């Protein structure tokens, strides 16, 4: 690997160092950690396993008892190794996840664009893996979905499906990533590969069966879903108003992605299709929500969009970076 690439990757190392300081600065402070991910992890740790009675009697809706248990159990694994529960140092998971996804980005991009351009791409995408919500499951799902879909794109379907299965064990949204991958394979004229996604289904299925056996359901599937969808379809202005003021994360990044999509969408149709289907599922979920639509969109849309942002950024940049002339790349260090 060239000295230029090493020098550029040094910038990513500084990004990860700063993120490590951020993620471990104090005990986890996110509201969803206190009421969902961290709460369940501590209850499971004290119980010595998944506490079904706690999940069945969850009194607060934000506990999301139907969510898969991978993240709380990983927090418990850290507590087991450490010898006690700690709300602060489980933050080390998050820079570790960002590091793994960044190194994967460099390795897979290196084959397509060379080591220097791959290092530039890794530096750009590293902050997208460094989730600003430590203590939540977003970072895990982003990394699993990104790695899984890129592996499937490159015809490594079985290992990619394993990562998608891990995503499905992270959040309910991981289940729709499996469907999104199948749709993308169909659009990419690789329908025969859809059956090779079976490891993802195998990993996701046990939790779906267990939560059904224990009568644990989520808010989106409670009550009359069809009636709620019909009501929201009858008042589209409410949905439009909710999205008009919704945060989308990094506006300049999205402007770049949308502009670059005109050049990259055809060459990277697998990634664009998967991201598009996933976003369609997210929008559809708002039509089924039992909560106030404006509230639901305001407090979740930015996190949902972050799930596909690295995918779209990679799809655009991997097509644009080779257009940069070699003379314009950073000079090697002396």
Q: What is the 3-state secondary structure (H, E, C) of the chain?
A: CCHHHHHHHHHHHHHHHHHHHHHCCCCCCCHHHHHHHHHHHHHHHHHCCCCHHHHHCCCCHHHCCCCCCHHHHHHHHHHHHHCCCCCCHHHHHHHHHHHHHHHHHHHHHHHHHCHHHHHHHHHHHHHHHCCCCCCCCHHHHHHHHHHHHHHHHCCCHHHHHHHHHHHHCCCCHHHHHHHHHHHHHHHCCCHHHHHHHHHHHHHHHHHHHHHHHCCCCCCCCCCCHHHHHHHHHHCHHHHHHHHHCCCCCCHHHHHHHHHHHHHHCCCCHHHHHHHHHHHHHHHHHHHHCCCCHHHHHHHHHHHHHHCCHHHHHHHHHHHHHHHCCHHHCCCCCC
Q: Are 139 and 97 in contact (CB under 8 A)?
A: yes
Average pLDDT, the chain: 91
Q: Which of 152, 147, 182 is nearest to 167 (CA)?
A: 147
Q: Are 334 and 277 in contact (CB under 8 A)?
A: no
Residue 324 has what pLDDT?
A: 65
| 327: confidence class by pLDDT, cuts 50, 70, 90 | very low
Q: What is the mean pLDDT of residues 184-189?
A: 96
Q: Are 80 and 72 in contact (CB under 8 A)?
A: no
Higher pLDDT, 113 or 123: 123
| 3: confidence class by pLDDT, cuts 50, 70, 90 | confident
Q: Are 172 and 68 in contact (CB under 8 A)?
A: yes
Q: What is the CA radius of gyration of the chain?
A: 20
pLDDT above 80 for 61: no
Q: Token match 């994967």: residue?
A: 104
Q: What is the mean pLDDT of residues 60-83?
A: 90
Q: Are 93 and 131 in contact (CB under 8 A)?
A: no
pLDDT above 70 for 334: no
Chain centre to alpha carbon of residue 295? 22
Proportion of the chain above pLDDT 70, given as a percent? 96
Proportion of the chain above pLDDT 90, given as a percent? 66
- pLDDT tens-digit map of 218-242: 888 777 788 889 888 888 888 888 8
Q: What is the mean pLDDT of residues 118-134?
A: 95
Distance set, CA 125 to CA 18, 120, 137, 146, 230 (Å): 15, 9, 18, 11, 39
Residue 330 has what pLDDT?
A: 58
- pLDDT tens-digit map of 274-326: 999 999 999 999 998 888 888 888 889 999 999 999 999 999 999 988 776 55
Residue 7 has what pLDDT?
A: 93
Q: What is the mean pLDDT of residues 70-83?
A: 94
Residue 221 has what pLDDT?
A: 77
Which among 85-89, 177-181, 234-238 has the top mean pLDDT? 177-181
Q: Are 238 and 293 in contact (CB under 8 A)?
A: yes
Q: Are 321 and 8 in contact (CB under 8 A)?
A: no
Q: What is the mean pLDDT of residues 188-196?
A: 95
Q: For residues 3 and 174, what is the distance between their CA atoms, to the nearest angstrom?
A: 38
pLDDT above 80 for 66: yes
- pLDDT tens-digit map of 142-163: 999 999 999 999 999 999 999 9
Q: Are 247 and 303 in contact (CB under 8 A)?
A: no
């Amino acid at each position: 690997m060239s000295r230029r690439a090493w020098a550029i990757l040094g910038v990513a190392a500084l990004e990860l160092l700063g993120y490590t300081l951020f993620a471990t600065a104090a005990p986890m402070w996110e509201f969803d950690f206190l009421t969902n991910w961290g709460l369940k992890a501590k209850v499971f740790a004290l119980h010595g396993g998944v506490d079904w009675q706690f999940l069945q009697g969850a009194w607060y809706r934000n506990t999301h008892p139907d969510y898969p248990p991978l993240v709380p159990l990983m927090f418990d694994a850290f507590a087991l190794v450490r010898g006690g529960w700690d709300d602060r140092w489980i933050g080390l998971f998050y820079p570790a996840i960002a590091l793994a996804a960044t190194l994967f980005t460099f390795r897979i991009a290196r084959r397509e664009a060379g080591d220097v351009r791959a290092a530039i791409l890794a530096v750009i995408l590293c902050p997208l893996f460094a989730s600003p919500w430590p203590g939540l499951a977003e970072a895990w799902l982003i990394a699993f979905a990104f790695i899984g879909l890129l592996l499937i794109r490159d015809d490594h379907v079985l290992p990619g499906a394993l990562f998608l299965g891990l995503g499905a064990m992270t959040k309910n949204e991981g289940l729709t990533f499996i469907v999104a991958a199948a749709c993308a394979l169909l659009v990419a004229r690789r329908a025969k590969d859809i059956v090779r996604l079976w490891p993802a289904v195998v990993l996701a299925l046990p939790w779906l069966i267990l939560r059904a056996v224990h009568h644990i359901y989520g808010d989106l599937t409670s009550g009359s879903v069809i009636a709620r969808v019909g009501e929201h379809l009858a008042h589209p202005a409410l949905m439009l108003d909710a999205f008009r003021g919704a945060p989308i994360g990094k506006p300049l990044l999205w402007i770049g992605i949308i502009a670059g999509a005109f050049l990259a969408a055809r060459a990277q149709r697998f990634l664009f299709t998967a991201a598009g289907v996933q976003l369609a599922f997210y929008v559809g979920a708002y039509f089924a929500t039992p909560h106030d639509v404006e509230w639901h969109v305001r407090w979740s849309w930015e996190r949902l969009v972050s799930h596909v942002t690295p995918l779209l950024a990679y799809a655009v940049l991997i097509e644009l970076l080779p257009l940069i002339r070699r003379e314009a790349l950073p000079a090697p260090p002396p």
